[in-house]
Amino acid sequence: MENFSIVIPVHNEVESIPVLANEIEFALGSLECDWECIWVDDGSSDFSWNEIKKLGPVHKALRLGRNFGQSSAIMAGCDSAKFELIVTLDSDLQNDPKDILLMLSTLTSDLDCVCGVRKDRNDKLISRKIPSMVANKLARLITGIRIRDLGCTLKIFRKYLVTDSRLIGEMHRVLPIYFHLSGAKITEIPVSHRARKFGNSKYGLNRIFKFMADVLLAKVMNKITSRPLYLFGAISLLLFFTGSVTLILLIIQAPNLSISLGLTATHFMLFALGAVVIFGCLIIVLLGLLTEVIIRTSGSAKSALKLSILEEKK
């Protein structure tokens, strides 16, 4: 079995930390391979960092200067990991560390990633289960990925898959999409899912919008980074064609429309202004997507994350 690093993002989970650490040690203590457990305190405002510092020598941790988000915390842990196999795990005790053994045995040499699928999910139906089902269905339609549960944090993947990109925002939830679009071989297996024992969930219904935005971004990033001229060229041609046809029709039909509908020059000016606003909004969205691609693929995000590390426990 390969050596591996466990990465656990933490934000205000002080009660869960010692319980989860004991479960991990009990579940993995008999393994003959080497492993480490990296806890990343993502700007907790409680005593999570103090609890992490009490853990044994197999545990090491990073403390970020503020709450950067779960994706950035995972990225910081991956950067610090000394092994090439990464296991991500939630710190709220809803993932069972025993499932790590099953996932490790599933990961063969011809696979790049194993994703967990939460069976008998212990979450609220309206606020968690139904939105998650809808979001996963839309993600499969948009990207063609066959993974059924993109929201499950329990995953195993090879470190090189995230070496050339920066995980920020909510990207951790769509990691399998990035892996899939890059040609990685992925499989999934059922894993346990437990009810939250301490504290409250950090996620609400607003996470659906963030999730779908990241799904669309993943799709666009794949097009931009592989064939940028094709994407922007196609959009430009579509806008040029639409604008040209609209302008020609207006010129041809302007006299008739003015008589039959009583339109004045002011009406046509307002129509033109509306068209400019619509096209301008589209251009802003494209610029935003391009900016996201530059930020997420540049070294500046990585440098900023390294500078944000306040303290490290080895």
Encode pLDDT of 134-156 as tens digits.
777 877 787 778 888 888 889 99
The pLDDT, as a whole number, for residue 149 is: 85
The pLDDT, as a whole number, for residue 157 is: 94
- Lowest-pLDDT range, 99-113, 156-170, 177-191? 156-170
* DSSP track, 208-236: HHHHHHHHHHHHHHHHHHH-HHHHHHHHH
* 3-state SS, residue 40: strand
More confident residue, 273 or 35: 35
pTM: predicted TM-score of the whole model, two decimal places:
0.73
Helix (H) or strand (E) holding 298: none
pLDDT at 43 over 80: yes
Task: Say which CATH class 4-205+301-313 falls into.
Answer: alpha beta
- Single out the residue of 214, 137, 225 nearest to residue 183, CA to CA: 225
The pLDDT, as a whole number, for residue 131 is: 72
Token pair in block for residue 263: 């339109």
* DSSP track, 139-180: HHHHH----S-TT---EEEEGGGGTTS---TTGGGGHHHHHH
Average pLDDT along the chain: 78
Instruction: Grade residue 175 by pLDDT with cuts at 50, 70 and 90.
Output: confident
- Lowest-pLDDT range, 8-17, 46-55, 83-92, 214-223? 214-223
More confident residue, 241 or 150: 150
Token pair in block for residue 199: 């504290």
The pLDDT, as a whole number, for residue 269 is: 61
The pLDDT, as a whole number, for residue 174 is: 79
Instruction: Grade residue 53 by pLDDT with cuts at 50, 70 and 90.
Output: very high
The pLDDT, as a whole number, for residue 235 is: 66
Rounded Cα–Cα distance for residues 73 and 297 (Å): 17
The pLDDT, as a whole number, for residue 231 is: 61
The pLDDT, as a whole number, for residue 215 is: 74
The pLDDT, as a whole number, for residue 26 is: 94
